[in-house]
C-alpha cells in the first residue's frame, strides 16, 4: 500500500513522520517472524490501551489519543506487508481496516507456534532473535527454532 508523505494524517511532526517511515522500512525488509512479532506486540499494546481507557483505568488526553492513532497507523503499515509472505492482497480492507481470513490464518499459524514454545524455548529464541536483529549473528542462527512448513500448507497448523 502506498502512503502519502503524511501517512493519511492532516499533519505530522518530524518525529511522527520519522517513526512511520522507520516502521515502513522495517516492515518492507524484515523476515516473517519479525513481522509477526511486531504485529503481535504492537497489537497487544493497542488493545490493552484501548481496553483500559474504555474501563476508565487510563485517561487518554489529546496527546494520548494522537499517539494511539499513530500506533494504529503503524500496525496498518505492518499488516499491509504480510503480502510478502503469501497473504493475498489486500490483507485488510482499506476503509474498515478489517483483516481478511487469509491474514488471520497467517497470524494464527504464527501465534500457535509462539504459544507452543516452552518458557525456556521462548527465552532462547528471544535472545538469538535479538542478536540477529542487532546484526551480531546471522538470521540462520534461529531458523531451526521456527515452525516447519508454511502458514498456507494444508491443515494450516504450526
Q: State residue 106's pLDDT score.
A: 96
Q: What is the pLDDT along the chain (158 residues), one digit of tens a residue?
A: 566 666 777 788 889 889 999 999 999 999 999 999 999 999 999 999 999 999 999 899 988 999 999 999 999 999 999 999 999 988 888 888 888 999 999 999 999 999 999 999 999 999 999 999 899 998 888 888 899 889 998 654 44
Q: State residue 28's pLDDT score.
A: 93
Q: State residue 93's pLDDT score.
A: 87
Candidates 80, 49, 42; CA nearest to 64 is 49
Structural domain containing residue 42: 14-145
- Is position 7 within any domain? no
Q: State residue 6's pLDDT score.
A: 67
How many domains, in total, are found in the chain? 1
CA atoms within 13 A on the CB side of 38: 26
Global confidence as pTM: 0.85
CB under 8 Å to 137, separation ≥6 — which residues?
128, 131
- Is position 127 within any domain? yes
The Cα–Cα gap between 30 and 77 comes to: 13
Amino acid at each position: 500500500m502506498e502512503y502519502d508523505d503524511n501517512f493519511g494524517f492532516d499533519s505530522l511532526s518530524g518525529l511522527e513522520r520519522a517513526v512511520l517511515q522507520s516502521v515502513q522500512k522495517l516492515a518492507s525488509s524484515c523476515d516473517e517472524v519479525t513481522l509477526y512479532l511486531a504485529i503481535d506486540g504492537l497489537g497487544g499494546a493497542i488493545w490493552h490501551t484501548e481496553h483500559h481507557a474504555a474501563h476508565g483505568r487510563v485517561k487518554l488526553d489529546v496527546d494520548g489519543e494522537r499517539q494511539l492513532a499513530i500506533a494504529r497507523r503503524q500496525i496498518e503499515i505492518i499488516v499491509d506487508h504480510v503480502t510478502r509472505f503469501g497473504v493475498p492482497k489486500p490483507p485488510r480492507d482499506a476503509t474498515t481496516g478489517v483483516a481478511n481470513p487469509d491474514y488471520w490464518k497467517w497470524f494464527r499459524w504464527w501465534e500457535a507456534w509462539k504459544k507452543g514454545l516452552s518458557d525456556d524455548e521462548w527465552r532462547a529464541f528471544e535472545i538469538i532473535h535479538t542478536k540477529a536483529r542487532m546484526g551480531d549473528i546471522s538470521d540462520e542462527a534461529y531458523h531451526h527454532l521456527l515452525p516447519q512448513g508454511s502458514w498456507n500448507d494444508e491443515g494450516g497448523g504450526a
